[in-house]
Structure 1
Amino acid sequence: ADNTLIHIENKRGDELLFDASLRLKRSQLTKQEINKLLKKFPAMTLSIFKGIYVQALKLFIKRVPFLGHSGKP
């Protein structure tokens, strides 16, 4: 499907405790679309980028060995 709707409700008896919805629209994953998202959400992109590399640095400092992908299934 080109569109997906996800809806979650949490109730206790008749009382609604939590309600969340997420509507998604399918799009092609091209370089242009990725660049558009990076420009639309720069703070989120930078915070995720920073978080990944901070964790990598912590693992490097602890001398955790790096296991590369062998390329074999």
Structure 2
Amino acid sequence: MLQSEGFEVERFKVRKLMQEAELISKQPGSHRYKQAKSERPDIPNLLKREFSVATPNEVWCGDINYIWSG
């Protein structure tokens, strides 16, 4: 913000200004997903790990992956 207004500011200057204003920086903590202990009873497992099919478009499945990009 200060740089966009034409002020030359480095992190140590920002730290000093924040201390004078009694401000602190709060960084987000790391996020961990819980490992499933059992299958969800409300979502039936229709595929039952049978990934081999006779014809195309007979079975569709998906997966959700979390890739850290920060």
Fold-level match, TM-score > 0.5?
no
The structure with more strand, counted as a fraction of residues = 1
Of structures 1 and 2, the larger Rg is shown by: 2
The structure with more helix, counted as a fraction of residues = 1
TM-score category of the 2 structures, normalised to the smaller one: under 0.3
Point out which structure has higher relative CO (alpha carbons under 8 A, 6+ apart): 1
Relative to the length of structure 2, the TM-score reads: 0.21
